[in-house]
Amino acid sequence: MTSVPTAATAPAVNDAAAAQPYGAPSVPTPLARKSIGLPRLRDMQAQGEKIAMLTAYDATFAAVADAAGIDCILVGDSLGMVCQGLDSTVGVTLEAMRHHTECVASGLRRAQAAAWLIGDLPFGSYHESKEQALRSAVVLMQAGAQMVKIEGGGWTLETVRFLVERGIPVCAHLGLTPQTVHALGGYRVQGKTEESAALLRREASALQDAGASLLVLEMVPAALALEVTQLLTRCPTIGIGAGNGTSGQVLVLHDMLGMNLGKMARFVHNFLDGAAGVHSVRGAMRAYVRAVKDGSFPDNALHAW
Ligand code: KIV
Instruction: Give the Cβ contact number of residue 132 at 10 Å.
Output: 15
CA 286 to centroid of ligand 1, rounded, Å: 20
Q: What is the pLDDT of residues 178-211, one digit of tens each?
A: 999 999 999 999 999 999 999 999 999 999 999 9
Give the distance between the most distant pair of CA atoms in the chain. 70
SS3 251: strand
- pLDDT at residue 3, rounded to an integer: 52
* 232 membership: H or E segment, kind and range: none
Q: Which atom of ligand 1 is nearest to the CA of 89?
A: 1
- pLDDT at residue 271, rounded to an integer: 97
Would you say 150 and 207 are in contact if contact means Cβ atoms under 8 Å apart?
Answer: no
pLDDT tens for the 305 residues of the chain, in order: 445 544 444 444 445 556 778 876 655 555 568 999 999 999 999 999 999 999 999 999 999 999 999 999 999 999 999 999 999 999 999 999 999 999 999 999 999 999 999 999 999 999 999 999 999 999 999 999 999 999 999 999 999 999 999 999 999 999 999 999 999 999 999 999 999 999 999 999 999 999 999 999 999 999 999 999 999 999 999 999 999 999 999 999 999 999 988 889 999 999 998 888 999 999 999 999 999 999 999 999 999 99
- pLDDT at residue 1, rounded to an integer: 44
pTM of the predicted structure, to 2 decimals: 0.93
Q: Which of 102, 203, 218, 227 is catalytic?
A: 218
Whether 218 is catalytic: yes
* 129 membership: H or E segment, kind and range: none
Q: Is 64 exposed, middle or buried (0-12, 13-18, 19+ CB in 10 A)?
A: buried
- pLDDT at residue 10, rounded to an integer: 45
Q: Give the residue whose CA is nearest to atom 2 of ligand 1.
A: 76
The structural domains of the chain, with segments of one domain joined by +, span 34-303
Q: Ligand 1 site: residues with CB under 6 angstroms? A: 55, 74, 76-78, 120, 216, 218, 240, 250, 252
- pLDDT at residue 260, rounded to an integer: 86
CA 152 to chain centre: 17
Q: How far apart are CA 126 and CA 64, in angstroms?
A: 31
- pLDDT at residue 29, rounded to an integer: 58
CA 85 to centroid of ligand 1, rounded, Å: 15
CA 159 to centroid of ligand 1, rounded, Å: 20
Q: 73 pairs with which residues across the strands?
A: 54, 117
Single-letter amino acid, residue 107: G
CA 279 to chain centre: 23
What CATH number belongs to 34-303? 3.20.20.60
* 237 membership: H or E segment, kind and range: strand 237-240
